[in-house]
Amino acid sequence: MSFCLPSIEQLTSAAEIVYQTMSATPQYSWPLINDALGCEVWVKHENHTPTGAFKVRGGLVYLHNLAQRAPDIQHVVSATRGNHGLSVGFAAQRHGKTAHIVVPQGNGVEKNHAMCALGVDLIEYGREFQDSREYALQLAQKNDWHMIPSMHPDLLAGVASYWLELFAAQPDLDVVFVPIGQGSGICAAAAVKRALGLNVRIVGVVSAHALAYKKSFEAGYKIEMPVSTRVADGLACRTPDDVSLAIILSMVDSVLAVTDADVAAAMKLLFVATHNVAEGAGAAALAAAVQVKSSLKGLKVGVPLCGGNVDATQFARIIGTWNNVDSEIVAAA
């Protein structure tokens, strides 16, 4: 699948669909975050959406448009580590459709429970996301269910609404750091940058324990890499999406990798400085900014707290260690 980045008119139309269900989320510049990085930082609070993560925006637009173009479809299926499944489940419930969501074995317990609470038919299969995705495709073919991918123009356009909000509030940002899972978040940032004609730099962020997008960005073509992150499950990508990678290669300035320890430290910083809870992927952008803070002096920086759906036991282990996050705590998480 290939597609052009949406126009400002298309992005605005998608945002109107999003706002039929939810309000814009806030962005704040927190003094303790600014002190920690030595610059002006704006945190976009996507943990304040109805599902606790940015992806709900894409699900709302995708299911709205699907209901318009194919009203007879009753069953949708997709794969997730959590937030995409919550997005699909939330939007499917609003349109009276049944969502079948495939997750890897050992997926986050609380994300699983949250999906079930939305009426999702939860299916556990495989050891990692790619296994679950391939099984979801098989189920779609076998049962004639509609397969919702992790990346699609409607998903991108919906997610882009949060970048429209952030750039409207802070149009002079110099750089934004954006986590990369399957790519809808960073590609949406690129779409809004192009549509608004901004000069902002876009820095992608991956887990150092899931380097597929970073290695692919550096090589200029798709490279699969093993996944071993224990904290940032939303970044646990083994195989880059073709469309996402093409957009990233053409629009993103650089890609950084953050370790589980970096991410855990950023989760703690966000909690101490803002009293907001971040999941691993939700704290990855801040972790990357901290990593290169010496280069950010005098700049205006944007970081999304893109999700807060972390299991309580994992969060307690990380937050309960007030000194430096060591390898034993990360492994336990």
Q: Kindly state whether residues 64 and 43 are assigned to the same domain.
A: no
* Sign for the pseudo-dihedral over CA of 170, 15, 252, 284: positive
**Total tally of structural domains belonging to the chain:** 2
Q: Kindly state whether residues 33 and 62 are assigned to the same domain.
A: no
- The model's pLDDT over 151-179, given as tens digits with 9 standing for 90+, comes to 999 999 999 999 999 999 999 999 999 99
Supply the CATH number for residue 68's domain. Answer: 3.40.50.1100
User: What average pLDDT does the structure give for the chain?
Assistant: 94
- Of the pLDDT bands very low, low, confident and very high (cuts 50, 70, 90), residue 25 is very high
- The model's pLDDT over 143-157, given as tens digits with 9 standing for 90+, comes to 999 999 989 999 999
Q: What is the pLDDT of residue 324?
A: 52
CA distance linking residue 220 with residue 175, whole number of Å: 22
CA distance linking residue 209 with residue 227, whole number of Å: 6
- Of the pLDDT bands very low, low, confident and very high (cuts 50, 70, 90), residue 316 is very high
Q: What is the pLDDT of residue 129?
A: 87
What's the CA angle centered on 124, arms 122 and 130, to 5 degrees? Answer: 115
Q: Average of pLDDT values for 81-100?
A: 96
CA distance linking residue 40 with residue 302, whole number of Å: 9
| 2 part of a folded domain | no
Q: Average of pLDDT values for 134-143?
A: 97
Q: Average of pLDDT values for 264-268?
A: 97
Tokens of 56: 């709900």
**Domain ranges, residue 238:** 8-54+153-332
Q: Is the pLDDT of residue 108 over 70?
A: yes
